[in-house]
Amino acid sequence: MSNQWKLVPVEPTDEMQEAVRDAWESEGAISAKQMYKAMLAAAPEKQIDTKALRGLLKHLEASRELYADVTRNAAVSHPGDANRLAEFDRQIAALKEVISC
């Protein structure tokens, strides 16, 4: 995700609300934008469900192998087969990177 966006809880956490109170107490009246920034800074990072992602990775790797087997054994090859396998490989690599973070 870009640095222009951040995932936040639907309801503000105690820490997010405390950040606004602290900003208010230290600076007096603050703008809505300042409140928002204080809350964003205190928002927890999204926790990644690595178990679910590992399951997805396993499925993606199996799908890639199945596609590779089918294309190897096909009577006629298609021009896009190599591109599709390369796309599988890119997606697998990207998912592995997310899991390792």
Q: Which residues in the chain land under pLDDT 50?
A: 1
The pLDDT of residue 100 is: 82
pTM: 0.53
Write out the E strands in 1-101: none
The answer to whether 19 and 8 are in contact (CB under 8 A) is: no
CA 80 to chain centre: 28
Residue type, 59: H
Residue type, 7: L
Quick one: which H or E segment has residue 88? helix 81-100
The pLDDT of residue 7 is: 77
Q: Match 């591109």 to its residue by tokens.
A: 83
Q: What is the pLDDT of residues 77-97, one digit of tens each?
A: 788 888 999 999 999 999 998
